Structure 1
């Protein structure tokens, strides 16, 4: 009996140690992710700069920029639901800068009950952040161009549709009113950070593992008593 108890005990301790180490690793990942999120938030809130000549999708992601120019065409409508507001659309408009560039501007949210909204007229200064949203997967429907119904902010497809650079600015504010459109600026809220939950799961499994080990040891002693 003693040998079996020792084997079960070792098995339980080793298994629990592995599970605890995975929990500790997730806590380390949590600290790393919180540092990354703090850096992203600081970058988002930094002082806006001029639009880079050739923005890089990784190096310039979340970069605050300011551009001046004119909105050129009616926007693409990207289906979205906003908590507290319900379903509606993000309005993505082509924008011509003073320097002759054509880029994309995400103007914000328009509730589905509003049929049309005029383009801001004249010279407009837009302050926002560069972004290349990753919203397309194998289940995303193709846009219904005839109905102007889009299902994701697919920068490359939108740029091809409007003949712009694949440069995407999510507006934070404008020099003119764009009501009833509500800006939906870039934040770090949508970036997943589930490491604490994973750590709790691993630690919980370690406790269950030890409990099962203790129960098995108890059963062995009962059978041999």
Structure 2
């Protein structure tokens, strides 16, 4: 009886591992297509930043865009960041256009530069990359708007914190435009793509389970 139960468990495990391996192959195809689309996006000429009414997809990320408007002074959000320039903050500032508001990641500053940061006045033209909103943080480092602690560029939370309305569901990484802080143009385009390794791992587990099942069944055969 115990051997029969164990055999059923091995059979179920084999099916589960095969399903997980096939799922990872599907994820591999999706990720490869996303990487190809992103690389293609980066070569496109800038287009007008889309309004909040236009739906976005993962393929919209890293599209070059341009937008004009005026920055909202006093509503900067400082998101902890680590770049080749050291540790510091991304500076996200709302930009009011004629029809909507969009968060602009103006670039990177160090902690020492935070106190002397100023906001450009008048109408400005921003060119950069469209970025999709990030998750609210990690298990160990979650955004805490009440204490103004930000670990991720979560657009809706930032908009709510600053009482912004009609805000685009994305932010824009501004290109480098000046040698003075904030330093723009630091977007790192990199995708982890380990799905093939994961698939091979699951298929290997399925093979081990199937091998164990075969050994168990052979031992149960009556001896001649």
The TM-score with structure 1 as length reference comes to 0.69
Alignment partner of 1:68: what SS? strand
> Partners of 1:132 and 1:164 in 2: how far apart?
18
Which consecutive unaligned segments of at least 5 residues does structure 1 have? none
Q: Assess, with a 3 A threshold, how the Cα gap between structure 1 residues 20 and 182 changes in structure 2: closer, same or farther.
A: same
Question: Size of the alignment, in residue pairs?
Answer: 211
Matched, 1:67 2:63: no
1:59-105 deviations in whole A, cap 9, x for unaligned? 5842421123443314211223x2655532111112244x4754321
Is the 1:110–1:182 Cα contact (8 Å) retained in structure 2?
no
Is the 2:109–2:181 Cα contact (8 Å) retained in structure 1?
no
> Partners of 1:126 and 1:73 in 2: how far apart?
16
RMSD: 3.9
What residue is the counterpart of 1:185 in the other structure?
187
Matched, 1:107 2:109: no
What residue is the counterpart of 1:78 in the other structure?
79
The TM-score with structure 2 as length reference comes to 0.69
Q: Assess, with a 3 A threshold, how the Cα gap between structure 1 residues 29 and 103 changes in structure 2: closer, same or farther.
A: closer
Deviation at 1:141, TM superposition (A): 4.2
Query: Which is greater in Rg?
Result: 1
Deviation at 1:200, TM superposition (A): 1.6
Which consecutive unaligned segments of at least 5 residues does structure 2 have? none
Matched, 1:47 2:40: no
1:1-225 equivalences under 5 Å are: 16=14, 19-20=17-18, 22-59=20-57, 61-62=60-61, 63-74=63-74, 75-80=76-81, 82=82, 84=84, 86-97=86-97, 99=98, 101-116=100-115, 117-120=117-120, 123-136=123-136, 140-144=142-146, 148-160=148-160, 161=162, 163-167=164-168, 168-185=170-187, 187=189, 189=190, 193-213=193-213, 215-216=215-216
Alignment partner of 1:56: what SS? coil
